[in-house]
Structure 1
Amino acid sequence: MIVEDERIVALHLRQQLTRLGYGRITVYSSGESALAAIMVDTPDLILMDIHIDGDIDGIETAAGVPGYLHVPVIYLSAYSEDQTLERAKRTHPYGYLIKPFAERELHAAIQMALQRRKVELALKHSEERLYLAMKAANMSCWEIDLNTRKIETTGPTGILYPDGNSSGVAINLDTFLERVVPEDYSSVKNAFEDAIGNGNFFDVVFRAKDSKQSVFWYRAQGKTFERTTQNPRRIIGVVQDATEQQVASARLRQASTVYETSQDGILILDSNLRITSANRSYASITGISINAALGQRPHILARKTFPLSFYRDMFKSLESRKHWQREISTQNADGDPIILMVQVIAVIDDNNGDISHYVAIISDRTAIRRAEEELQYLAHYDGLTGLPNRMLASDRLERALERASARGTHLACMFIDIDNFKTINDTMGHNAGDQLLIVVARRLKSLVTSTDTIARLGGDEFLLTAEDIKDRHAAADLANRLLRGLRVPVTIADREISISASIGISLFSERANNAQDLVRQADTAMYAAKNSGRNGFTFYQSAMTEDATHFMTRNQQLQRGLENGELVLFYQPQYSRNTGKISGVEALIRWNHPTEGLLGPGEIIPVAEQSGLINEIGQWVVEEACAQAMRWRDEGHPALKIAVNVSVRQLRSDDFVAIVRHALEMTKISPRQLEIEITESTIQNDTRIISRLHELRRLGISLAIDDFGTGFSCLGSIKSLPIERIKIDQSFVRGIPNDQDNTALTEAITALAAKLGLAVTVEGIEEKPQLDFINNLECTDFQGFYFSRPIPAAQVFELPEIAFHTS
């Protein structure tokens, strides 16, 4: 390519080049057009005039030629001043001819430039191959000047220049050593010092950090070489990123560790399934030493161990899928039975595609299978008693129903619940309770036939499925036999315990058509037996389901009523015999039912007791009673004692005392304003409840025995309890003064209380003759419909005083 703006000069040059034998010649008069043409049709050489038309001169045009094209440029110019030469030199031209020049001079310059370009291209290709080879090896060549300690590199620079610096920028040896992790620094430093001091070759592997503090592995090699006397010594070598090699080596070590430490037996087998390598676990699992196993087939796969079809299937699978797996039952070297999961994998030779060897993995499943058998047992049998559990009992009942339906026979389902089992658990501990359940299970199993199923459903509940029962009489006889067998006392923890049970019975072909109905009906009948006094049995009746349904509905409604604020307290006044004024009130619960109106405690307490909701309702009653006392105080009314009835469940609750304490603290009322009423049957032989009463008394709360005289009171116990008041039950007041027994009992109770220094409140006064008689006894307070029915809190202080006259 000729770049010349003088047309005659350009034509003359073209003619000269043609005579010299150069074939394709293009001519351009401006730098812009020449650069555009170069990108389309790259020339082998450019003859460039410096002063040409256009916005850029020849030197700027030469500078614009892309370096990757490697096009030699020879300047042709009539000017040779220093400034022009300096500018031209910066573009690295292949020649500079001063016009005018001879034709042979031009030819020689062109030939030298083309030859130089040829050599440089060859060198470039050689360097490129070296660069790619070094890049493939993740390696850089380096030269370290031992005088300046500067490093110059050839090849990929990412190893020595983690921040992406070019190879033209030297780094310092000390800077490079600073990247070495502290653990490897000494070994690397010693290697370099030995090479510098003794001229030895060094080869060191170490870890170093990049600019992001990521750690990589490197391998550095080099040796010291002498230069001329004018130049210092130097180290020439290579540095290689060895991270992948180290990772591969680590993985190989890990694989070796896994091979040796794996809990599974691992075998390498040749093409004939003979062992070439075995790990220690194989020897441990099979009992065969590694030396004895080498060269032999695994004894678990040896011929004659299994039928021929076993081996046929194995080789067929290995041939088609290159994998075979199966759980086998066999024996170890000592003849003990073992269960193994065996996998054999065919390994393919990459060169010819044939099977080169096999890898066998042998897992000992013996313990797992035994555990599964135990779990299977536990899934169907009770772990404590060994009896069938609920799941197996349901399955057997279903099968028994199928047989009874096919034969047209009867079948009895009995739901058995141990009486007072919770008390035994609470007083003697759960270990004693478990021992009792084991005894009960053995006795029940001994009392039924082999065709019957006795199962434990959970807790103290058992279920009996009795087949071929002739009629209700036969079922009743069986239930009586069970009750008699259970009543025999048993000694547990050095204490003799009497056992009784409540049994509910449902019969197939009478009212139940499936297993669920039978169990549900027997369960319902069992609760009826408990409500009838325990230690007996009851047959299911349809009315029981209606009662149970009513209870369930009431329970749900009551739960909702408590959450929605439907419960309220009414208050029945208690009048002081001495002053005629209201001395206190008894808080009585009512329920504002959204559809049925105001309901009394008869629709609340039994349901709450049976469902366990009594604790929540009882807590609400205590808190609401205290809150009402606070409201009366804030309204300016005199302080009144409020009596609250507390159930056995509440007193047995561990947090009951804390609930009462919290209610008093929140309302700031005096503890003397709160009176806790308990029935006398609550305190008999229950040390925990008695302890609760003393805790309440220490809070300053008054304690009273409600319904006194109806619970076979132990007078000695009452004398030792922190009781301040007794309330004579209204059943004694009824019939006074005509009923001589009630009058005598009431006189005796009031006299006894006076001797013990206890206050007496007489409940249930409904008529004036009753009041006239009781008014002459040693009592302190009156309560009953004669004075007032339970009323809302707002009406209490509207009641008048009453004058009591004694004869």
Structure 2
Amino acid sequence: MPHSVHIMIVEDERVIALHLRKQLEKLGYERTSAHTRGSDALAAIHDDPPDIILMDIRIEGDIDGIETAAGIPSHLMIPVIYLSAHSEDATLARAKITRPYGYLIKPFSDRELHATIQMALERRAAELALSESQHRLSLAMNAAQMSCWEIDVLTRQMHCTGLGNPDLDQNVETVTESWDAFLERVASEDRDMVRKAFAYAVSHGEFYDVVFRSLDKDQNYRWLRARGKSFGDDRKGSQRIIGMMQDVTDQRLTQDKLREAMTVFETTQDGILILDPDLNVTNANNAYYRITGETEENTLQKPPYFLSANEHPAEFFQELFSGLGARRQWHRDLDTHNANRGPISLSLQNIAVENEEHELTHYVMIVSDRTAIRQAEQELHYLAQYDGLTSLPNRLLATDRLNRAIERCEPSGMMVACMFLDIDDFKTINDTLGHAAGDQVILIAATRIKGITERTDTISRLGGDEFLIIRENIPNETAATNLAQKIIQELQRPFYIRGHEMNIGASVGISLYPVHGHSSHDLIRLADTAMYAAKDRGRRTFALYEAEMTANAAHYMTRSLELRRGLENGELVLYYQPQFDGKTGEMAGVEALLRWNHPTHGLVGPHEIIPTAEKSGLILEIGSWVIREACTQARRWQDQYGQKLRMAVNVSVRQMQQPGFADSIADQLAISGLPAEDLEIEVTESMIQDEISMIQTLHDLRAVGISLAIDDFGTGYSCLRSIKSLPISRIKIDRAFVNGLPGNSNDVALINAILAMAEALGLSVTAEGVETRAQYDFLRDVPGIKLQGFLLGKPVPAEDVFTATIGKTKQI
């Protein structure tokens, strides 16, 4: 046999399968495999596709032989021959759908089996050859942007065949439409010309060559060229026009491209030479003269000076012409000299250009100045200290570069800028899009930083999302801060990763030699400290190092350790500020406020706790403790006083970003026994603006039954768009608007507008910061309003809430 044929047997009767394998071996088929279940056979086909399958129809398992055959990937084109003792019409009808290559009724002879297998293999070989031929034709037509078309003159139906069909938004081999529908897409100015070509073909038998414009799927005009002839069938009494259609838009744009090429030729930073077949220069651009210092007189009608026979041995030219002859291009980095005999490093690429007859007409040589790059490469290769992802210098090399910059600037008294850059929210990118996307962000950041800085600057990656930029000979602090601002702005330009539009926010810390430090390690450390100060200022900004930053960093470190210890030692407590119904004067709820019984500083408020907790990550543990303690206390009051109070609790962004946050609160409600409707979660406007995950968390919280409120309403942006579609039930008017009541007309107008909006949207309202009797009198008559402020009650420990608020509104 011409090659080893792999025959797969699918038969659940093992004795029959064994007998069949013996038959096949006897017939010379040495390679066989057998399976009793259809699913096993399909898995085996995936790993080792056979040349042919002998399939019993009734086999054990979830699928029978016909269903197994239907599950074979069609692109494998594996012949299936059914072996069955059954031939009833229903079975044959089902089998026919799978287009088998044969159907043998058991029992059958060796000769019948052999003949059927051979015919199936021959048929498969023919079909494979036909498929390959059709595939090559489709590829050729696609490459040529061509399609074959045919028009039935009688029915005026048009058929276009081929992947190269340029003007139809179809993904099939053949598309049928009416001739009139095709004409509708033809440009109105060209439609009459195409119609006349059709009429001419009907009358004279030939569709003359016609070029016209037609709309493509994006409603843009493309230039098409159609040619064809008319063919009649006297027997059928029909007439067809058959031809080819090609997209010739590129040809129409040739002149524009030539003009563009000339612009590139004259403005590119690389030198470009046009050489005749003897390597004599026939044209050169301005960049070439700038790079080499040569003149037109010394360049034209002679070989380039760096290809002079006096410059190179014979082997050099053998390599040159060998490359141009075999690959039609030649590339070489060459250390040579310019017109002033100064050393330069050039990258040369010579490309052979042929005409349509494949005859050499000229060469195009690209001459790139790599002098500075060559010097940098030699230095970097010597040090061999790169970052694996970005190929930027690593921390060790950056420190060395900084030391050398300091040494160079010390005698002159010039400054060196050391910039520590950290990408903002990089962990979020890794967590949401994956580390591969994070690597792309690092690469984009590195590329953009390099693009905005000077060649003499050092840009290094210290690790993770941290970069160090070193620039020496900085004249003043302003120049350093201007550079930092340019880098931040450059990184903020949008880009796309995995379909997501993103931009890079960065915080930059700056230290200067000799203003802030005299050693490389000190400068890097101080720039790092300044970077954290930039993050504290809101991120996406820069900070120049100041001495107090070190003190602040030390304070944060100390306070962070103390706060963790305070959480573990039970030093955190909750105070509660009452909220009153404006109409009845009854206490309607409380807001839980965090306090810290510091061992040495006494009672510390949230302004000392929250920033440290957010920065250190303790906010998650503290936030969980606050929710647990507040729910437990609310339930304790209900049991003790029989009074239901709404417990309001503020949550942070990081809590809301935690997966399963709503579930964790539901667990706390269940543990404490507090009904969900008695808990109100307060969020700020900035937390819910265009944050899909935040918005989903709000819906999850509402599904638990928890009330949601917007705290400090009016101090954020674009919240009006959000609250109308989000499950918010309450807004809390910020004290900044209440403070001017009732004398400040602007505050009065704003308060009235907020109240009107809340009423229209069916939202409850709580006014914060009620501190005067005049404010109280202005607000208490608003229907359904809740009031909160020092006038009504200050935050107090849990045991003092009811005693401190008894009769409070009556006293006012």
TM-score (structure 2 length as normaliser): 0.50
Instruction: Find the counterpart in structure 1 of residue 528 from structure 2.
Output: 523
| CA deviation string 1:328-358 (max 9, x = no partner) | xxxxxxxxxxxxxxxxxxxxxxxxxxxxxxx
* Distance across 2 between alignment mates of 1:405 and 1:378: 24
- Structure 1 counterpart SS, 2:615: helix
- Partner of residue 672 from structure 1, selected from 659, 669, 677: 677
Q: Structure 1: which 5+ runs fail to align?
A: 1-375
1:800 and 2:812 correspond? no
- Partner of residue 600 from structure 1, selected from 605, 611, 615: 605
Letter in 2 for 1:620: W
Instruction: Find the counterpart in structure 2 of residue 18 from structure 1.
Output: none
- Structure 2 counterpart SS, 1:417: strand
Letter in 2 for 1:635: Q
Cα distance change on mapping 1:804 and 1:680 into 2, 3 Å: farther
Cα distance change on mapping 1:377 and 1:667 into 2, 3 Å: farther
Cα distance change on mapping 1:541 and 1:625 into 2, 3 Å: same
Cα distance change on mapping 1:672 and 1:489 into 2, 3 Å: closer
Instruction: Give yes or no for contact 1:577–1:804 (8 Å, CA) kept in 2.
Output: no
- Structure 1 counterpart SS, 2:561: helix
Instruction: Find the counterpart in structure 1 of residue 615 from structure 2.
Output: 610
Instruction: Find the counterpart in structure 2 of residue 739 from structure 1.
Output: 744
Which is worse superposed, 587-596 or 450-459?
Answer: 450-459
- Structure 1 counterpart SS, 2:594: strand
Instruction: Find the counterpart in structure 2 of residue 625 from structure 1.
Output: 630
Structure-to-structure mapping, 1:180-579, within 5 angstroms: 380-405=385-410, 408-422=413-427, 424-425=429-430, 428-579=433-584
* Distance across 1 between alignment mates of 2:563 and 2:651: 18
* Distance across 1 between alignment mates of 2:505 and 2:653: 22
* Distance across 1 between alignment mates of 2:385 and 2:572: 45
How many Å apart are 1:693 and its aligned residue? 1.3
- Structure 2 counterpart SS, 1:635: helix
Instruction: Give yes or no for contact 1:416–1:461 (8 Å, CA) kept in 2.
Output: yes
How many Å apart are 1:517 and its aligned residue? 2.0
Cα distance change on mapping 1:548 and 1:452 into 2, 3 Å: same
Instruction: Give yes or no for contact 2:582–2:779 (8 Å, CA) kept in 1.
Output: no
| CA deviation string 1:380-435 (max 9, x = no partner) | 43222121233433343344434444664421100122345455555555433322
- Structure 2 counterpart SS, 1:789: coil
Between the two proteins, what is the percent identity of the paired residues? 54
- Structure 2 counterpart SS, 1:746: helix
Instruction: Give yes or no for contact 2:583–2:781 (8 Å, CA) kept in 1.
Output: no
Instruction: Give yes or no for contact 1:582–1:801 (8 Å, CA) kept in 2.
Output: no
Letter in 1 for 2:806: P
1:585 and 2:594 correspond? no
| CA deviation string 1:142-177 (max 9, x = no partner) | xxxxxxxxxxxxxxxxxxxxxxxxxxxxxxxxxxxx
Instruction: Find the counterpart in structure 2 of residue 72 from structure 1.
Output: none
* Distance across 2 between alignment mates of 1:758 and 1:653: 27
- Structure 1 counterpart SS, 2:724: helix
Instruction: Give yes or no for contact 1:747–1:777 (8 Å, CA) kept in 2.
Output: no
* Distance across 2 between alignment mates of 1:672 and 1:801: 26
Letter in 2 for 1:796: V
Cα distance change on mapping 1:483 and 1:590 into 2, 3 Å: closer
Instruction: Give yes or no for contact 1:727–1:763 (8 Å, CA) kept in 2.
Output: yes
Letter in 1 for 2:420: F
* Distance across 1 between alignment mates of 2:752 and 2:441: 47
1:783 and 2:785 correspond? no
How many Å apart are 1:655 and its aligned residue? 4.0
Bigger Rg over Cα: 1
Cα distance change on mapping 1:770 and 1:689 into 2, 3 Å: same
| CA deviation string 1:718-771 (max 9, x = no partner) | 122111111111111011001111111111111111111111111100001001
| CA deviation string 1:480-504 (max 9, x = no partner) | 4434543444344445544443321
| CA deviation string 1:61-112 (max 9, x = no partner) | xxxxxxxxxxxxxxxxxxxxxxxxxxxxxxxxxxxxxxxxxxxxxxxxxxxx
- Partner of residue 773 from structure 1, selected from 771, 778, 790: 778
How many Å apart are 1:787 and its aligned residue? 0.6
TM-score (structure 1 length as normaliser): 0.50
Instruction: Give yes or no for contact 2:583–2:780 (8 Å, CA) kept in 1.
Output: no
| CA deviation string 1:632-669 (max 9, x = no partner) | 23434422211100011100011422331221122112
- Structure 1 counterpart SS, 2:758: helix
Letter in 1 for 2:645: L
How many Å apart are 1:450 and its aligned residue? 4.1
Instruction: Give yes or no for contact 2:583–2:784 (8 Å, CA) kept in 1.
Output: no
How many Å apart are 1:684 and its aligned residue? 0.7
Instruction: Find the counterpart in structure 2 of residue 149 from structure 1.
Output: none
- Structure 1 counterpart SS, 2:526: helix
Letter in 2 for 1:669: L
* Distance across 2 between alignment mates of 1:672 and 1:380: 61
* Distance across 2 between alignment mates of 1:560 and 1:391: 36
Cα distance change on mapping 1:513 and 1:737 into 2, 3 Å: same
Instruction: Find the counterpart in structure 2 of residue 764 from structure 1.
Output: 769
* Distance across 1 between alignment mates of 2:802 and 2:627: 21
- Partner of residue 706 from structure 1, selected from 703, 711, 716: 711
Number of aligned residues? 431
How many Å apart are 1:714 and its aligned residue? 3.1
How many Å apart are 1:689 and its aligned residue? 1.1
- Structure 1 counterpart SS, 2:757: helix
Cα distance change on mapping 1:779 and 1:441 into 2, 3 Å: same
| CA deviation string 1:229-278 (max 9, x = no partner) | xxxxxxxxxxxxxxxxxxxxxxxxxxxxxxxxxxxxxxxxxxxxxxxxxx
Instruction: Give yes or no for contact 1:750–1:778 (8 Å, CA) kept in 2.
Output: no
Cα distance change on mapping 1:778 and 1:634 into 2, 3 Å: closer
Which is worse superposed, 758-767 or 466-475?
Answer: 466-475
How much is the aligned-residue C-alpha RMSD, in angstroms?
2.6
* Distance across 2 between alignment mates of 1:708 and 1:438: 40
* Distance across 2 between alignment mates of 1:377 and 1:563: 53
Cα distance change on mapping 1:484 and 1:749 into 2, 3 Å: closer
Letter in 2 for 1:553: T
Cα distance change on mapping 1:496 and 1:585 into 2, 3 Å: closer
* Distance across 2 between alignment mates of 1:584 and 1:685: 30
Structure-to-structure mapping, 1:40-189, within 5 angstroms: none
Cα distance change on mapping 1:393 and 1:527 into 2, 3 Å: same
* Distance across 2 between alignment mates of 1:764 and 1:456: 49
Which is worse superposed, 727-736 or 542-551?
Answer: 542-551
* Distance across 1 between alignment mates of 2:784 and 2:639: 32
- Structure 2 counterpart SS, 1:604: helix
| CA deviation string 1:516-543 (max 9, x = no partner) | 3212221222233334444433211112
* Distance across 2 between alignment mates of 1:547 and 1:469: 27
Letter in 1 for 2:582: R
Cα distance change on mapping 1:562 and 1:500 into 2, 3 Å: closer
Instruction: Give yes or no for contact 1:578–1:804 (8 Å, CA) kept in 2.
Output: no
Cα distance change on mapping 1:745 and 1:423 into 2, 3 Å: farther
Instruction: Give yes or no for contact 2:792–2:809 (8 Å, CA) kept in 1.
Output: no
* Distance across 1 between alignment mates of 2:785 and 2:384: 64
1:645 and 2:650 correspond? yes
Instruction: Give yes or no for contact 1:506–1:522 (8 Å, CA) kept in 2.
Output: yes
Letter in 2 for 1:386: S
- Structure 2 counterpart SS, 1:475: helix
* Distance across 1 between alignment mates of 2:463 and 2:749: 50
